[in-house]
Amino acid sequence: MFKISKFKLFKQIPFLITIFLFLGLAFLNNANTEAYGFSYENFVKTVNKYRQEGNPNANVTIIVYSDFQCPWCRKFEEKDLSYIIKDYVKTGKIFIEYRDFPLTLIHPYAFKAAEYADCAAFQGKYLRVRSLLYHYQKDWSTVGDLYYFLKTHTEGIINLKKAESCVKSGLAKRLIKSNMASGSRLKVSGTPTIFIYKGLILYKKIVGYRPYPRLNKILKKAVN
């Protein structure tokens, strides 16, 4: 008969504990997600849908990695993005996608802002909340109370209770970390970072803020 000695069994205890802890955490994570009522895959699909603008069949795609607490991202959002939307996105020439890349070492509230923005996207209100977060960046970034800020600025725009439940589910956190990982693979080191693709080929990578006249010259060449 095959027997396991007490000594060998004792040596296996740390390994068994690790396995049980892993399974327990996985169970809690799944339970939390199921309690919210949506799978991670459905969450990502919906959020990405509302973090996009323009014609998905456009020849040129822009992917913007940004940080809600970054002052240069705010400047890009308020000074230049509207021109890109007007001249290129609404005319069907460019498709634009937004991705999260919070610089957590220097911007302690950027990750939480991205969580709320992505949970607003799940309600189809990403662009509205994105604009508010950048426009009032100085208001919420001093103390980081995102819930109070959204309570006073998004009445009638999003269901804040649902957004809070979404944040607590961990779905947005998982998506943001995925965005950060993809950005890191593309060697994103600061924000904003803009990738311009012609089809599937990278045409230009722009690191840091560029005023619209300079961006416009690049975009004109890209679409032609």
Distance CA 67, CA 85 (A): 19
Tell whether the model's pLDDT for residue 22 goes beyond 80.
Answer: no
Contact 169, 36 (CB under 8 A): yes
Which of 93, 100, 47 minimizes the C-alpha distance to 69? 100
Tell whether the model's pLDDT for residue 37 goes beyond 80.
Answer: no
Q: Domain for residue 2, yes or no?
A: no
Look up the domain containing 191 and give its range: 46-223
Q: Domain for residue 18, yes or no?
A: no
Tell whether the model's pLDDT for residue 143 goes beyond 70.
Answer: yes
> Is 51 buried (19+), middle (13-18) or exposed (0-12) by CB count in 10 A?
buried
- What is the tally of structural domains in the chain? 1
Tell whether the model's pLDDT for residue 31 goes beyond 90.
Answer: no
Beta bridge partners of 52: 97
Q: Domain for residue 168, yes or no?
A: yes
Q: Domain for residue 148, yes or no?
A: yes
Q: Domain for residue 167, yes or no?
A: yes
Residue 162: which CATH number?
3.40.30.10
Q: Domain for residue 29, yes or no?
A: no
User: Which tens digit of pLDDT belongs to each residue from 177-222?
Assistant: 999 999 999 999 999 999 999 999 999 999 999 999 999 999 999 9
Contact 176, 125 (CB under 8 A): no
Complete DSSP assignment for 101-160: ---TTT-TTHHHHHHHHHHHHTTT-HHHHHHHHHHTHHHHTTT--HHHHHHHH-TTTS-H
User: Which tens digit of pLDDT belongs to each residue from 171-189?
Assistant: 999 999 999 999 999 999 9
User: Which tens digit of pLDDT belongs to each residue from 146-158?
Assistant: 999 999 999 889 9
Q: Average pLDDT of the chain?
A: 88
* 106: its two tokens: 């220097």
